[in-house]
A and B are shown apart, each in its own frame.
Chain A
Amino acid sequence: MRPHIREKKDFSFSEVPENTSFEAGYLVTVNSGWRSIRPEVNSEKCIGCEQCYLYCPDGVIAIRDGKAVIDYDFCKGCGICAKICRIGAIGMEAERK
């Protein structure tokens, strides 16, 4: 399972582990607040070539039913996907609050 957000985000004295190891893939914060622009996929144009999926540094793009979809909790708005798309199916738009 990919690293994902957990319910419990704070650890009291007795909950802090005895050693410096903990459960893999335990996340407590998202990265969405980093964005000033966000990618928008035009699903009609998207041909599912998977270039954006391969080149996303954060791994937030997946292919569902042959189309690129984005996890906006963890997308940082770098714009690589929009640049890499050969057919212009991804555009960068201003982040809406």
Chain B
Amino acid sequence: MSRKFLSGNEAFAEGIRLARPEVISAYPITPQTIVVERLSEMVEDGSLKAEYVHVESEHSALSCAIGASAAGARAFTATSSQGLLYMAECLYYAAGGRFPIVMMNADRSTALPWNIYGDQRDSLSQLDSGWIQAYAENAQEALDLALMSYRIAEDKRVSTPYMANLDGFVLTHTYETVEIPERSQADKFLPPYETDNRIDFDNPKNMAFSAGPDTNYIFKYKAHKGLLAAAEVIKETENDFAEIFGRKYTGLTENYLTDDADYIIVTLGSIAGLCRETADKLREQGVKAGVVRIRYMRPFPNDEIAEALKNARAYAVLEKDVSFGNEGTVFTNVNSALKKSGAEVKGYDFIGGLGGRNISAGDIEGIYRSIAEGTDIVNFIGIGGGENG
């Protein structure tokens, strides 16, 4: 094991190196570029043995990865924002075809207006596509997710592609000390990709076919069940990961001081750290604040959310996206989880950080205070009072 001072992108690339992908399709887009650049250097210096394909667009990047996966190879690609949307057709294709591709997405705002900075609108707009969606908080988790992703995606109970999201610039480009596992540990943790869902010269297949009204719904139901099954597989994988690498992750969500909390912020990604610091500060002042960090948006942690929030007086979702014409998507999911559980907790949506706008400790403290007092349900941080500015 070695320790290095790496950016989130570099750490993720190290994790991918250890996962032994066999085909990498690469197309650059800010702020993901460092990942594909590092991987090309690893291929050049021999520390990564993979077919590295310089595709000419993001659509081709994922289409190429699907072809490689159909050949039985472990495939990887990476993108962001406009690129994610350009390959959107292929997201549904890969998921429906049950190809366990891993893709890193640098969470970045989507045009218009143009903006290269981090928010979560790109990945959250693709929640319906059928991919597992994970959100990393720091560089170590990014590296670890890269390694765990293939274990989870390729599990026969799951067979679903996996999108690992890193906040654009905030996580992709910020430097932290990370532990890089030994190659031997990684190989022990992650066996080679084995599947029937591939080209086979002994038993030829016809793949990626059409299914009419009589059977289509059955294929879709099975895909849905496969994604749901990932929840259990994630827990098992994290247990094995802890045994080999010594770091224990907490499943679909990560709770902080939620057991007795009156006011809880529910959030994704790197902002969680500042939320925990703010919760600590408020605790010193006698406010029972807590934080739930959603690690996986798909499969959605309905039970974990309900369990963490059920005794709170109020919760606020802090998210970096909005589903125009309604509310933030994370809030929609959390609100639904609570409603399904039967718990009655006042819920609020705080939309911030769009286009890379800074969210300050003051903003977060403001959220805790306003949900204690009562406010509009849907709020845009930085814009007047509630939805109407």
User: What's the nearest-Cβ distance from chain B to residue A4, in Å?
Assistant: 13
Binds A, one of B32-40, B175-183, B200-208, B251-259: B200-208
- Check B207–A21 contact: CB distance below 8 A: yes
**How many angstroms from the CA of A11 to the CA of B98 in the assembled complex?**
19
A contact residues vs B (CB 8 Å cutoff):
11, 13, 16-26
Which chain B residue shows the least CB distance to A24?
A: B204
Chain B residues within an 8 Å CB radius of A17 = 219
Chain B minimum-CB-distance residue to A10? B214
- List B residues at the A interface (Cβ < 8 Å): 96-98, 159, 196-198, 203-209, 211, 215, 218-219, 222, 226
What is the CA–CA distance of A2 and B233 in the complex, to the nearest angstrom?
41
Among B159, B204, B206, B218, contact of A13 (Cβ-Cβ < 8 Å): B218
Q: Are B209 and A22 in contact (CB under 8 A)?
A: yes
Residue of chain B at shortest CB distance from A13: B218
Please, which residues of chain B bring their CB within 8 A of the CB of A20? 96-98, 207-209, 211, 219
Chain B residues in 8 Å Cβ range of A19: 97-98, 159, 197
Q: Closest CB-CB distance, A20 to chain B, in whole Å?
A: 5
Using Cβ atoms and an 8 Å threshold, which residues of chain B touch A16? 215, 218-219, 222
Complex CA–CA separation, A88 to B215 (angstroms): 46
Known A19-B98, A23-B205; further 4 A-B contacts with Cβ < 8 A: A16-B219, A18-B98, A21-B207, A25-B204
| Residues on B with beta carbons closer than 8 Å to the beta carbon of A26 | 206
Contacts of A22 in B (CB 8 A): 205-206, 209
Question: Considering the chains assembled together, what is the distance between the CA atoms of A11 and B217 in angstroms?
Answer: 13
Could you say which residues of chain B place their CB within 8 Å of the CB of A13? 218
For residue B226, which residues in chain A have a CB less than 8 angstroms away from its CB?
Answer: 18
> What separation, in Å, do the CA atoms of A22 and B97 have in the docked complex?
12
CA distance A26 to B215 in the complex (A): 16
A-B contact pairs, 20 of them (CB 8 A): A13-B218, A16-B215, A16-B222, A17-B219, A18-B98, A18-B159, A18-B222, A19-B97, A19-B98, A19-B159, A20-B207, A20-B211, A20-B219, A21-B196, A21-B198, A21-B207, A23-B203, A23-B204, A24-B204, A24-B206
Are B205 and A11 in touch, CB under 8 angstroms? no
Please name the residue on chain A nearest to B97 by beta carbon: A20
Tell me the bound Cα distance from A26 to B207 in angstroms: 12
> Which of chain A's residues has its CB closest to B98's CB?
A19
CA distance A11 to B215 in the complex (A): 8
- Expressed in whole angstroms, the minimum distance between the Cβ of A16 and any Cβ of chain B is 4
Contact of A24 among B96, B98, B196, B205 (CB under 8 A): B205
Q: How far is the CA of A72 from the CA of B310 in the complex (A)?
A: 69
Least Cβ–Cβ distance between A2 and chain B, in angstroms = 12
A15 to chain B, nearest CB (A): 9
B222 proximity list for chain A (CB < 8 A)? 16, 18
CA distance A22 to B198 in the complex (A): 10
Q: Which residues of A contact B205 (CB under 8 A)?
A: 21-24
Closest CB in chain B relative to A6 CB, distance in Å: 13
Closest residue of chain B to A18 (Cβ to Cβ) is: B222
Interchain residue pairs A-B with the least CB separation, the first 5: A19-B98, A24-B204, A21-B207, A16-B218, A19-B197
Q: CB-CB < 8 A to B218: which residues of A?
A: 13, 16
**What is the bound-complex CA distance between A25 and B203, given in angstroms?**
11
From B208, B218, B226, name the one whose CB has the most chain A CB atoms within 10 angstroms: B218
Complex CA distance for A19 and B222, rounded to whole angstroms: 8
Residues of A within 8 A of B204 (CB): 23-25
A22–B210 Cα distance when bound, in Å, is 11
With a cutoff of 8 Å between Cβ atoms, the chain B residues found around residue A23 in the complex are 203-206
Question: What CA separation (Å) do A15 and B97 show in the bound complex?
Answer: 17
Bound Cα distance A21, B209 (Å) = 7
> Which A residues touch B215, using CB under 8 A?
11, 16
A84 to chain B, nearest CB (A): 30
